[in-house]
Chain A
Amino acid sequence: MTWHLCALALLAGLAAPAVAGAQAVQNATLRRAQQAYDNLEYRQVVSLAQAALRERLTGPERARAYELLGFTYGALDSILKAVDAFKQVVLIDPERQLDPNRVSPKAYSAFDVALRQVLLVRQLRVDSTSFVGGRGAVPIRFTVTQPARVVTRAIGTSGGSYVIDSGAWNGQVNLSWPARLANGDPVPAGNYTVVVEARLGQNAFSASQPIRVSHGSVDTLQSLTSLPGYQYLPETEVPPQSWRPLGLAFLYTGGALIGTLGLESSSLGSGSKRELAVVGGAALVTGFVMTLRKPAPRPAAANILYNRLLRDQIARRNQDIAKENVARRQQVQLTLVPLPKPSSAGPR
């Protein structure tokens, strides 16, 4: 049993300095209690902490005194007393949290039991967010330690008050607030306080978080000049060089020659071919020259069609963007930022 106590005290001793180091203790009696705890002199811790509590202490000092008592009672197996001490801790500082890896299981379980026996709203968080009015919501999270009727409100500094949620909750609660009025308009810009009020019988507890709501204009979209991944194709293409021009010149000249020879009148005799030689020769020379020249670019029908489709698609997208921009110019960009929190939580 002695060995077990020593081990437990060692665990508690490992944890306590970490917590104590976080805040400076001004009260001499409380400092002595802390020292006695560090020296594992638990009887002395109890008497000194109780003595300190009878003196004038700040809130954090009072919480620390009760916390020392809680750890010490836990080490001494006085679980009920430890729970009572931890209850006082969380009533003074509802956000107080113990690290289960650094405190003894007995102390931690006593702290957990204490949390369940006191109605608290803890860990109220309003995330910083920005969204277009009507198309988003502000996430709000908090924890209620007992089943209770919880009303969440946003109270403006200028007097407006908006109910965010009202319901029976226990444990972790996740809410989303669209920040809109009943008529759909966004809530006016300004400073607000999100107040979570839990009520269970005669007990009530509230927590709050100040936030700032600001309005801005919604960014409009740029018109498109191209579609990502799609590029205009050249609307003409140069065909490969070939003998086709000369072949065609032969074909046309040959047609004229054959036609002339075939249609010549036998009674008139064979006529002079100098006229055909002049024009046919010019055609053949032209065909030969054109064969040697770089072919003229020709319209690429498939590319023209593709470009037309692409232009149509971009035009349609730009029409949609124009409509969207008209709508966006009538919208409001809401930005919500949590503000530093005053110590406003407490039992009522």
Chain B
Amino acid sequence: MSRAAAGVALLVLAAPAAPAQRVAVTVGPQFALASYREVASGLRYQGTGFGGALSARYRKLSAEAGVVRLTLDPTTGSAATSGFTATEVNLWVAYDVATYASVEAGFIRRTADPEFDAQSVGAVRLGARSFYEIGPGATLLFRANYLAAPKFSGGGHAGFSIDLGLGLDVRLAGRLHGTAAYTFQRINRKTNPGGTGEIDAPIQETVARVGLAVGF
């Protein structure tokens, strides 16, 4: 968490120092909606939260970072008795390989508080994204990331973990941008509690973030 925060802070600090004509930077707050499910269909949560996002582009190289803090409560009919707070940090670094496509890498780190109310996850992101400017100042983005080498606070492993994303950035007026991002995450976690054999303990999360950003 501390390293991720340091990386984001470094990007924020480095961006204004770079010449404005060469590096395009947007930064701003976001409101988030989230759904979270774990292990079985009965263990489901929904909630909202706040966060921030930063993006920067220099020629073919681009980077995105986002931090969101979600308060997740059990939904109606959920087996869970109490909610928890999740803090999620995402980072992507991408390189354009074509006019409308990039390859990207990064990481995800999600921690839960209280610690044992939900799984904390950390993984490396590897994937690609497609982006298209559909109009003046309006860009759509679609990404697919494989979450490699995931680590869980409760142990276990995941052979298949994927993260899909849909993003939108619209220049509303001057430097003011409107941003929206959707993330669907599926982690096929398997665990072996007490050595009795592997059982499925999948994790599924969807997050929508909507916010404003200022461009530099």
In the bound assembly, the distance between CA atoms of A267 and B37 in angstroms comes to: 10
Asked if A244 meets B134 with Cβ closer than 8 Å, knowing A274-B208, A279-B180, the reply is yes
Asked if A275 meets B134 with Cβ closer than 8 Å, knowing A249-B140, A252-B142, A259-B184, the reply is no
Please, which residues of chain A bring their CB within 8 A of the CB of B34? 275
Q: Which residue of A lies closest to B40 (CB)?
A: A267
Please, which residues of chain A bring their CB within 8 A of the CB of B168? 279, 282-283, 286
Asked if A290 meets B204 with Cβ closer than 8 Å, knowing A248-B140, A283-B168, the reply is no
Q: Is B144 an interface residue (CB 8 A)?
A: yes
Q: Is B35 an interface residue (CB 8 A)?
A: yes
Q: Which residue of B lies closest to A278 (CB)?
A: B208
Q: Is B138 an interface residue (CB 8 A)?
A: yes
B24 to chain A, nearest CB (A): 16
Q: Which residue of B lies closest to A269 (CB)?
A: B41
Output the residue of A244, A245, A276, A282 with the most chain B CB within 10 A: A282
B149 to chain A, nearest CB (A): 19
B36-58 contact mask (Cβ, 8 Å, vs A): 1 or 0:
01101100101000000000000
Q: Is B132 an interface residue (CB 8 A)?
A: yes
Q: Is B162 an interface residue (CB 8 A)?
A: yes
Interface size grouping (class) on chain A: 20 to 34
Please, which residues of chain A bring their CB within 8 A of the CB of B38? 268
Please, which residues of chain A bring their CB within 8 A of the CB of B208? 274-276, 278-279
B134 to chain A, nearest CB (A): 4
Q: Which residue of B lies closest to A290 (CB)?
A: B135
Q: Is A296 an interface residue (CB 8 A)?
A: yes
Please, which residues of chain B bring their CB within 8 A of the CB of A268? 37-38, 40-41, 44, 202, 204
Tell me which residues from 219 to 258 in chain A have a Cβ below 8 Å from any Cβ of chain B.
Answer: 244-245, 248-249, 252-253, 255-256
Contact between chains at A289 and B135 (CB < 8 Å): yes
Output the residue of A275, A276, A282, A296 with the most chain B CB within 10 A: A275
Please, which residues of chain B bring their CB within 8 A of the CB of A185? none
A29 to chain B, nearest CB (A): 103
Q: Is A24 an interface residue (CB 8 A)?
A: no
Contact partner, B134, options A245, A260, A269, A272, Cβ 8 Å: A245
B4 to chain A, nearest CB (A): 23
Contact between chains at A274 and B138 (CB < 8 Å): no
B184 to chain A, nearest CB (A): 5
Q: Is B182 an interface residue (CB 8 A)?
A: yes
Output the residue of A268, A295, A296 with the most chain B CB within 10 A: A268
Q: Is A293 an interface residue (CB 8 A)?
A: yes
B44 to chain A, nearest CB (A): 8
In the bound assembly, the distance between CA atoms of A291 and B138 in angstroms comes to: 11
Contact partner, A260, options B46, B132, B164, Cβ 8 Å: B164
Contact between chains at A260 and B206 (CB < 8 Å): yes
Show 20 A/B contacts (Cβ-Cβ < 8 Å), sorted by A.
A245-B134, A249-B134, A249-B140, A252-B132, A252-B141, A256-B182, A259-B184, A260-B184, A260-B206, A263-B186, A268-B40, A268-B41, A269-B37, A271-B206, A274-B33, A274-B35, A276-B166, A279-B181, A286-B135, A295-B136
B residues near A (Cβ < 8 Å) are 33-35, 37-38, 40-41, 44, 46, 130, 132-138, 140-142, 144, 162, 164-168, 170, 180-182, 184, 186, 188, 200, 202, 204, 206-208, 210
Q: Which 4 A-B pairs give the minimum distances between C-beta atoms?
A: A290-B135, A275-B208, A269-B41, A279-B182
In the complex, given contacts A265-B186, A275-B33, what are 18 additional A-B residue pairs having Cβ atoms less than 8 angstroms apart? A244-B134, A252-B130, A252-B142, A253-B166, A256-B142, A263-B162, A265-B188, A268-B38, A272-B35, A272-B206, A275-B206, A275-B208, A276-B184, A278-B180, A279-B208, A283-B168, A286-B138, A291-B135
